Amino acid sequence: MIVKTKFILVVGFIILNLPHFIRADEDDDECVLCDVLIGTAMAICETNESCNAIMTIVALISICILILGCICGDDEARDEIWDSFPSARKTASIGAGYGLAKACMD
């Protein structure tokens, strides 16, 4: 019961403060709070069997397409793939959201 209460409090805090942190700037492509919410959604999805299966299938298909693009593509396509990888800040934000959600659910 305590875990459920903690989770509700964290989600409520995020939802109440969401409008204050997200700004619709065209120059700003990185939204840290959005990345944290993505990580949280991934952690929550792992708890549900069907959602976890769908996430696994989508991840495997994406990895296969990425590998095929690297093998069969030319140098320009490889450079485009390399440049489109998420930044370290985005990756750390997603990891923080994932870790926070996992800690609240345990």
- Reported as a pLDDT band with limits 50, 70 and 90, residue 57 is very high
**Count of the separate structural domains present in the chain:** 1
User: Does residue 22 lie within any of the structural domains?
Assistant: no
Tell me which residue range forms the domain holding 6: 2-14+32-105
pLDDT: which is higher, 81 or 2: 81
Residue 39 has pLDDT above 50, yes or no: yes
User: Does residue 69 lie within any of the structural domains?
Assistant: yes
User: Does residue 42 lie within any of the structural domains?
Assistant: yes
Residue 53 has pLDDT above 70, yes or no: yes
- Reported as a pLDDT band with limits 50, 70 and 90, residue 94 is confident
User: Does residue 25 lie within any of the structural domains?
Assistant: no
Residue 56 has pLDDT above 80, yes or no: yes
Q: What is the 3-state secondary structure (H, E, C) of 22-83?
A: CCCCCCCCCCHHHHHHHHHHHHHHHHCHHHHHHHHHHHHHHHHHHHHHHHHCCHHHHHHHHH
